[in-house]
Chain A
C-alpha cells in the first residue's frame, strides 16, 4: 500500500547532480550516529554549494550562497535526526538521505522505516502541520514540549522548514512487507532558489 501526503512527487526531469548517503543501523551506537548527523548535513551543504559559483565582487551572490548553505545544513540535519530518532532499528534496513539538484530548486529526501505504533501519530501530526496556521502551531508545539519532561517530542523541525525556509514538504508511506508489517516513510523537502 502507498499513501502520499503534502507536496510529494516523483520529479519529471532528471537531476543535474545528486548525492545519496546510507546509514546502516547496526554499525555504530545511536549516540555516535547523532554526531554524524551534523557532519553529514554540513558535508551535503558544502557539496551542493559548489554548484552555485559566487562572484566575489557581488555581495548578493555570496549572501545567497551562505543562505542556501545554511538552509541545506539545517534541513538535512533535522531530517536525519528525525529518521534516526524514529527509525525501527529492529529491522535490517538502512536510513538514506538524498539530495538532488535541479535547474531552479533542490530536493532533500530521507527514508526510514517507522514502528507501526508510531504511524498513526505521525500521520495525525502531518495533518495538523499542513492545516494549522504557523503562528498557532508554533506556540502549541512549545507548550507541548513544556508539558513533556523528557524533552523528546518537538515537531518544531518540520514547522521551521516550512515557516522559516519556505520549503515545500511531502511524505510517502509505503508498506514494503506484510508479515510482519514494515512501513517505510520518505520525507521530501523542496527548496526553491
Chain B
C-alpha cells in the first residue's frame, strides 16, 4: 500500500508494520481522504504495533495534523494496537506538535532522531 506524488509519499511496509512518510504535505482537508483510507486499511489488518516513520516529513499543515490525530484517536478507541512515532527534532512541526498526540493516546511511544 502506498501513495506517491511529486510533493509527498506514504508507504506501508507490511513486514515491519511501518508507515513511512516523506515530503511536504499541505493539502486541503478533503485531499487527505485517500491517506485516511490507507491508514484505516492498515488498522484493519490489526498488527500489534504500527510504526510511523515521520523523519522525512518536512512540513505538515494543521489539516494533516488533524488527519493523524483522528487516526491516533481511532487507535486509542480500539485499544489493541500500539503506536510508535519516529520523529526528527530538526523538523520544526515535529519538534513542536508531535508530542500533542499523546493527549489522544497516553501510551503513544516516541523515538527521536
Question: Is B one of A's binding partners?
Answer: yes
CB distance from A29 to the nearest CB of B (A): 12
Interface window among A12-20, A68-76, A86-94: A68-76
Residues of chain A at interface, number, CB under 8 A: 33
CB distance from B60 to the nearest CB of A (A): 9
Q: Residue B63 contacts which of A69, A138, A151 (CB distance < 8 angstroms)? A: A151
A135 at the interface (CB under 8 A from B): yes
Q: Residue B66 contacts which of A81, A145, A150, A163 (CB distance < 8 angstroms)? A: A145
CB distance from B100 to the nearest CB of A (A): 6
Interface string of A129-168 (1 = CB under 8 A from B): 0000001001101110110001111101100100111000
Query: In which size bucket is the chain B interface?
Result: 20 to 34
Q: Report the Cα distance A160→B66, complex, angstroms.
A: 11
A85 at the interface (CB under 8 A from B): yes
Q: Report the Cα distance A67→B74, complex, angstroms.
A: 31
Q: Report the Cα distance A142→B62, complex, angstroms.
A: 11
Residues of B within 8 A of A (CB): 24, 26-30, 32-33, 36, 59, 61-63, 65-67, 69-70, 73-74, 90-93, 95-97, 100, 103-104
